Amino acid sequence: MPTDKRERQRQNRAEKQKRAQRARRVKQFKRRVIQIVWITVIVAALVTITNMIAARNSSTTTTSGETTTVEGETTTIVETTTTSDSSALGATYEEYRSQPTACGADAPPPAEPMQFDAAADENLDPNTPVTAKIATSCGDIAIQLDPQLAPETVNSFVFLARQGYFDGTVVERIMPGFVIQAGDPTATSTGGPGYSLPDEFPAEGFAYDRGVVAMANAGQTGTTGSQFFIALGSTGLGPDYSSLGTVTDGFDTLDTIAEIPTERNATGEDSRPLETVYITSVTIDVGA
């Protein structure tokens, strides 16, 4: 019969063996986790590289930055990436393409996806009038832009318009008596040109009333991109949106757009048009 001392020694040895086994299991588990993590990283890297190679071999074209001289001034052409495949704009834009065009118009060619590093300097004189004519499925809208009120915002809008960025895009929000919103090629209200603009908010007390055109944002500073809205009435909004200018002609077009039937969008807001209003072009006229 074993003595108490031997029994304790046996128990101690057994306990050490159990601890050693647990330690080995923990070590093996950690090793497996590390292996899985590394495998995941390697697979993700391979997928990324494959996609990059595929993208380069697709219809995507990249225009590298160039420098030109016009009338003694050096102008940098900002790098831009474009593709001829409209499906790159996503399912939401494709849904708009599949539904009837508003006002009995024909659908224009699809929007061309574009991304830029920044807006090029359009050399706008703050004292020279700048007009933007937005041609839509339901008629034209003329906007008197205000470079003095928001110089960088207006410069960006003019730059994007001259690039054809807005051509073929849609009005993705219609809220009668409030606003219509456009300027996002993806039609999701989350897309943009690839860069953000500094905030150029108007002074306290500024009224976003009927005809005012301003930039939409994500409710945070530094989130202004290409999306803009046109006020259909007295909105009651605070001075938290960079203002581009004011509609001078085309209020009948705005009223027609406001009458297009809508449904609830993905966020539950009753603003998604059931007929697609396209922006066919945006023409900039300086000095008129």
Q: What is the pLDDT of residue 99?
A: 97
Q: What are the φ/ψ torsions at residue 246 (nearest 5 degrees)?
A: -140, 145
25, 18 contact by CB (below 8 A): no
Average pLDDT over residues 215-238: 96
Q: CB-based contacts of 119: which residues, under 8 Å, 6+ apart? A: 78, 152, 155, 156, 159, 160, 193, 195, 197
How far are the Cα atoms of 67, 109, 180, 183 from residue 112, in angstroms, in the given order?
Answer: 24, 9, 22, 13
pLDDT of 40 over the 70 cut: no
Q: What is the pLDDT of residue 65?
A: 35
The predicted model scores a pTM of: 0.72
140, 148 contact by CB (below 8 A): no
Q: What is the pLDDT of residue 213?
A: 98
Q: What is the pLDDT of residue 20?
A: 62
Rounded to the nearest 5 degrees, what angle is found at the Cα of 226, between the Cα atoms of 242 and 85?
175
For residue 91, name the pLDDT band (cuts at 50, 70, 90): very high
For residue 211, name the pLDDT band (cuts at 50, 70, 90): very high
Q: CB-based contacts of 163: which residues, under 8 Å, 6+ apart? A: 80, 114, 116
pLDDT of 171 over the 50 cut: yes
Tell me which DSSP letter residue 69 carries. E
For residue 88, name the pLDDT band (cuts at 50, 70, 90): confident
Q: What is the pLDDT of residue 53?
A: 38
> Which of 50-54, 260-264, 267-271 is predicted least confidently?
50-54
Tell me which DSSP letter residue 74 carries. E
Tell me which amino acid residue 148 is: Q
For residue 3, name the pLDDT band (cuts at 50, 70, 90): low
pLDDT of 176 over the 80 cut: yes
